């Protein structure tokens, strides 16, 4: 018994197939000085005026004043000149002696989902006396670019202190203006206020009088104005101990503004041996009893002017040393004359400040003073998270601003002193990046400490009802120095508002060549993403001249969750590798899939240009907005020296289907026999249909795509066992046709083919030898541009359609055949996508 059935299997091959749709050719570029680090951060932004790209330039104003700034760059308007927002000038914290030079404004830049944006200058500082603290600052900018408020976490300068200056005003002091100048400068070194230092002044000669009460001035400028015109007390005698004792007893009285329990300090300035030195021991003992810390300043002017003997000078100095508190070397000063008093202002001021810093309840001198708050920032559903890497001696912390109040975790909040060695957290830089995740159990916060125990770690935590940190999970880095945790990004792939993935960058991860290739860890599925491995030129490598170190891509320096680029309903991810290709940089795009990411990147965007004007492309990425109004999210990528806006191309779906008439044939029966030329055999018709639909909604513009298709019968065999019927009687196995298809329509083509006579006599065993008939089709005007063509899939994609046999017996074998074809042709494709670039005339491209 011969079972003679022909099975026809068609494969549809696409020759012009793309996996990506970010147009690398027609980007909109903004440029700025590379040395200002223009492009270090980028954010897409929209307000009532239109659409913008915001670009951070943290070293703007260099070299002298590296205040940094943020630029607004218009999109879709006549010019694309970027305008500086002048944020540093208008970012201010009241009652601080601010230091805005080097504040690096714009090195953190985050748009607020509710409008406006947050820009931070983590190197912003302030002065307490001569001490320079780096607290960092963030400023809230409205959607109309107005500064709403600025905030930082700072320690009040100094603790509360009551300081009384006991001033010798006897006639021998000359010129008095030197004294007032000294007072003026010295007061300028103090932080004066009702909650800080209060200053009282007592002057004496033969008698004593209160010039300034402690509570009299609550700010430094007013007190300075007052001392400018302070009169000389005058008098022929120098009753130093009367002055000191009056100050002790009266100036430090609550009635004159002294605050109970507050540190008491006395600064005594005199130019001569006292006339009441016999009271020294009694008066100083009383001062000790009252816990008054004393600074003695001996002015030798009068001794010089009157040529007094060395022993007299020494006797005077001895007296003032005896007035001063221990240790004497910290509390005693002598100056050659009145004019030289100003020279000790710095030293005196800093010693008094040191007193402030160590007094009170503080156990550690450095808490938030160097915190660099705003090193990173993130807007979560429940408030603003600010990374503060410098807090607690660079162990770091995360400050949170919520509507219910500020959360400033204590120095041990992120660590477990029982489980962790103290040295592991030293200079861990916790707060290097911050993120949040929405889970069914509420909001989780995530922060990285890239130097924790050298390998870095990520802490996932929540806040309890008392706003205490409760750590729920810790992720550990695996390689020393990889900077694991320095870049964090959560992703909601399927848009159900629950976070699906956490991506953790380790941009300095060493590849096999000991170069900093970088790596990105994907949590939930825990696998890693890596850049294209590439060689680079180092001092060690022979035979190359451009020693461009550090080497390696630093993949993961920027990680951005971007809104669905290819319109498949899943959000996507872009990852920067700014050191790739000799520091030119590149960006990789990964497509989201269900609740995860496809492991293989779908697009690699290398930096354009010569690598001179713009370097480190991929340093910053943001892609959450459609900036040209075609309904598809566009992606902004910053390097240093410039940033570019890449338009995403439209995505079209192309469905192809094929049916046969008849759908089943039995070659032993002759019901479908036909005659053509001089030949008689079985004939069948195939109906090939395409439907085409542009995915983004823009119903006013109907687009068309020009298509070409070729059907090849029995394509895997040298000779075909079937041929098309044509008028000229050529027995052709192949037919090619062009057609145009309009958006939202279906086009069908019918072809008839005839099986060769030999097919009828094939034994059943040879069925496995049957090979595919293919339909190959493409977009006819496939002018994809040079960038796109490079990324063509080498592998053909196919869908299979077969003519069924009418008998059940060979079902198994048929299945095998079909499966095989699906594998060779990749798993596809009843569903294909064409890429259509509407912004660029009518050139359509296929995308799978």
Q: Contact positions toward Ca ion, by CB under 5 A?
A: 492, 494, 496, 498, 500, 564, 566, 568, 570, 572, 626, 628, 630, 632, 634
CB of 594 to Ca ion, least distance (A): 9
CB of 730 to Ca ion, least distance (A): 46
CB of 765 to Ca ion, least distance (A): 47
Measured in residues, the chain has a length of 848
Torsion angle, CA of 354/356/358/361, rounded to 10 degrees?
-170
Q: Which residues pair with 637 in a beta bridge?
A: 621, 644
CB of 523 to Ca ion, least distance (A): 14
CB of 496 to Ca ion, least distance (A): 4
Give me Rg for the CA atoms of the chain: 40
Closer Cβ to Ca ion, 45 or 145, answer by number: 45
Nearest to 119 by CA among 50, 56, 33: 56
CB of 639 to Ca ion, least distance (A): 21
Closer Cβ to Ca ion, 462 or 598, answer by number: 598
DSSP line for 588-626: EEE-EETTEE-SS-SEEEE--S-SSSSEEEEEEEEEEE-
Closer Cβ to Ca ion, 328 or 498, answer by number: 498
Q: Locate all alpha helices (DSSP H) within 630-785, ordered by sequence.
A: 757-760
CB of 592 to Ca ion, least distance (A): 5
CB of 434 to Ca ion, least distance (A): 20
Closer Cβ to Ca ion, 415 or 848, answer by number: 848
Closer Cβ to Ca ion, 353 or 437, answer by number: 437
For 402, the token pair is 């919520």
End-to-end CA distance of the chain: 45
Three-state SS across 404-422? CEEECCCCCCCCCCCCCCH
Beta carbons of 693 and 743 less than 8 angstroms apart:
yes
CB of 493 to Ca ion, least distance (A): 6
Closer Cβ to Ca ion, 598 or 685, answer by number: 598
Task: Characterize the bridge pairing of strands 197-204 and 292-299.
Answer: unpaired
Residue 570: CB atoms within 10 A of its CB come to: 22
Task: Characterize the bridge pairing of strands 679-694 and 722-724.
Answer: unpaired
Structure-token match 């708050």, residue found:
373
Closer Cβ to Ca ion, 76 or 254, answer by number: 76
Torsion angle, CA of 248/254/256/259, rounded to 10 degrees?
90
Cα–Cα dist 127/384, whole Å: 26
Nearest to 576 by CA among 525, 635, 634: 635
Distance of CA 835 to the CA centre of its chain: 31
- Helix 310-323 crosses helix 280-289 at what angle (to 10 degrees)? 30
CB of 551 to Ca ion, least distance (A): 33
Closer Cβ to Ca ion, 433 or 500, answer by number: 500
Q: Which residues pair with 383 in a beta bridge?
A: 380
Cα–Cα dist 212/200, whole Å: 5
Q: Which residues pair with 615 in a beta bridge?
A: 640
Closer Cβ to Ca ion, 628 or 752, answer by number: 628
For 112, the token pair is 């607020």
CB of 437 to Ca ion, least distance (A): 10
Closer Cβ to Ca ion, 153 or 838, answer by number: 838
Cα–Cα dist 192/67, whole Å: 27
Q: How many helices (H) and strands (E) does the chain have?
A: 14, 53
Closer Cβ to Ca ion, 368 or 632, answer by number: 632
Nearest to 743 by CA among 773, 772, 703: 703
Burial class of residue 710, CB neighbours in 10 A (0-12, 13-18, 19+): middle
Q: Which are the contacts of 85, defined by CB distance < 8 A and separation ≥ 6?
A: 69, 70, 71, 72, 141, 145
Burial class of residue 64, CB neighbours in 10 A (0-12, 13-18, 19+): exposed
Q: What is the side-by-side strand order in the sheet with 734-742?
A: 664-665, 800-805, 8-14, 773-779, 704-712, 734-742
CB of 491 to Ca ion, least distance (A): 8
CB of 646 to Ca ion, least distance (A): 9
Closer Cβ to Ca ion, 273 or 626, answer by number: 626
Cis peptide before 550 (omega within 30 of 0): yes
CB of 723 to Ca ion, least distance (A): 43
Closer Cβ to Ca ion, 330 or 653, answer by number: 653
CB of 499 to Ca ion, least distance (A): 6
Closer Cβ to Ca ion, 199 or 602, answer by number: 602
Cα–Cα dist 546/342, whole Å: 55
Closer Cβ to Ca ion, 51 or 672, answer by number: 51
């Amino acid at each position: 018994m011969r079972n003679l059935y022909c099975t026809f299997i068609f494969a549809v091959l696409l020759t012009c197939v793309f996996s990506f749709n970010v147009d690398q050719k027609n980007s909109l570029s903004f440029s700025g000085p590379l040395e200002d680090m223009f492009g270090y951060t980028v954010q897409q932004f929209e307000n009532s005026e239109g659409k913008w790209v915001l670009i951070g330039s943290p070293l703007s104003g260099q070299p002298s004043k590296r205040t940094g700034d943020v630029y607004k760059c218009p999109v879709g308007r006549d010019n694309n000149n970027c305008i500086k927002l002048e944020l540093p000038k208008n970012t201010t914290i009241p009652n601080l002696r601010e230091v805005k030079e080097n504040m690096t404004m714009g090195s953190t830049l985050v748009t607020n989902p509710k409008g406006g944006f947050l820009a931070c200058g983590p190197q912003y500082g302030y002065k307490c006396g001569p001490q320079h603290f780096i607290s960092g600052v963030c400023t809230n900018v409205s959607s109309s670019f107005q500064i709403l408020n600025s905030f930082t976490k700072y320690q009040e300068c100094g603790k509360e202190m009551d300081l009384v200056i006991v001033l010798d005003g006897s006639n021998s002091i000359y010129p008095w203006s030197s004294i007032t100048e000294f007072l003026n400068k010295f007061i300028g070194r103090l932080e004066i206020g009702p909650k800080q230092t209060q200053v009282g002044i007592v002057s004496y000669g033969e008698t004593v009088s209160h010039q300034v009460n402690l509570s009299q001035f609550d700010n430094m400028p007013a007190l300075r104005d007052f001392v400018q015109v302070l009169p000389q007390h005058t008098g022929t005698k120098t009753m130093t101990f009367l002055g000191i004792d009056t100050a002790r007893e009266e100036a430090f009285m609550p009635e004159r503004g002294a605050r109970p329990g507050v540190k008491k300090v006395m600064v005594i300035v005199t130019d001569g041996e006292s006339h009441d030195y016999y009271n020294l021991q009694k008066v100083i003992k009383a001062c000790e009893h009252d816990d008054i810390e004393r600074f003695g300043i001996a002015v030798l002017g009068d001794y010089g002017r009157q040529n007094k003997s060395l022993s007299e000078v020494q006797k005077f100095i001895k007296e003032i040393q005896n007035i001063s508190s221990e240790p004497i070397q910290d509390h005693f000063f002598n100056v050659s004359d009145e004019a030289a008093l100003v020279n000790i202002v710095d030293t005196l001021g800093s010693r008094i400040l040191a007193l402030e810093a160590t007094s009170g309840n503080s156990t550690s001198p450095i808490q938030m003073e160097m915190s660099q708050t705003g090193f990173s920032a993130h807007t979560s559903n429940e408030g603003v998270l600010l990374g503060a890497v410098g807090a607690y001696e660079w162990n770091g912390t995360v400050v949170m601003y919520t509507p219910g109040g500020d959360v400033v975790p204590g120095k041990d909040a992120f660590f477990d002193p029982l489980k962790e060695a103290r040295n592991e957290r030293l200079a861990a830089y916790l707060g290097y990046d911050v993120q949040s995740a929405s889970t069914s159990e509420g909001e989780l916060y995530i922060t990285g400490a890239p130097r924790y125990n050298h390998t870095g770690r990520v802490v996932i935590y929540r806040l309890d009802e008392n706003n205490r940190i409760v750590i729920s999970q810790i992720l550990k880095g695996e390689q020393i120095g990889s900077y694991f945790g320095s870049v964090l990004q959560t992703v909601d792939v399927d848009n159900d508002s629950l976070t699906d993935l956490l991506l953790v960058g380790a941009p300095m991860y060493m590849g096999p060549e000991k170069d900093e290739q970088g790596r990105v860890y994907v949590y939930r599925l825990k696998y890693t993403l890596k850049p294209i491995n590439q060689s680079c030129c180092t001092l060690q490598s022979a035979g190359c001249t451009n020693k461009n170190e550090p080497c390696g891509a630093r993949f993961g320096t920027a990680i951005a969750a971007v809104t669905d680029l290819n319109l498949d309903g899943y959000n996507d991810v872009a990852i920067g590798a700014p050191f790739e290709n000799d520091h030119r940089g590149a960006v990789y795009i990964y497509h989201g899939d269900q609740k995860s990411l496809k492991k293989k990147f779908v697009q690699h965007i290398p930096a354009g240009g010569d690598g001179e004007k713009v370097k480190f492309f991929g340093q910053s990425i943001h892609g959450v907005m459609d900036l040209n109004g075609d309904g598809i999210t566009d992606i902004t990528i910053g390097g240093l020296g410039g940033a570019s806006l890449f338009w995403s191309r439209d995505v079209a779906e192309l469905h192809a289907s094929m049916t046969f008439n008849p759908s089943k044939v039995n070659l032993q029966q002759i019901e479908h026999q036909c005659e053509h030329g001089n030949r008689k055999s079985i004939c069948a018709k195939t109906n090939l249909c395409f439907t085409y639909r542009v995915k983004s909604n823009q119903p006013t513009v109907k687009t068309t795509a020009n298509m070409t298709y070729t059907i090849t019968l029995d394509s895997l065999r040298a000779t075909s066992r079937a041929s098309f019927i044509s008028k000229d009687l050529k027995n052709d196995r192949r037919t090619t046709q062009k057609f145009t298809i309009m958006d939202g329509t279906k086009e069908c083509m019918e072809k008839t083919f005839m099986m060769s006579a030999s097919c009828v006599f094939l034994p059943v065993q040879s069925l496995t030898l049957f090979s595919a008939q293919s339909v190959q089709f493409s977009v006819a005007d496939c002018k994809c541009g040079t960038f796109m063509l490079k990324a063509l899939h080498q592998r053909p994609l196919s869908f299979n359609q077969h003519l069924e046999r009418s008998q059940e017996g060979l079902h198994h074998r048929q299945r095998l055949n079909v499966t095989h074809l699906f594998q060779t042709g990749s798993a596809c494709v009843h569903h294909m996508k064409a890429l259509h670039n509407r912004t660029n005339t009518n050139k359509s491209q296929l995308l799978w």
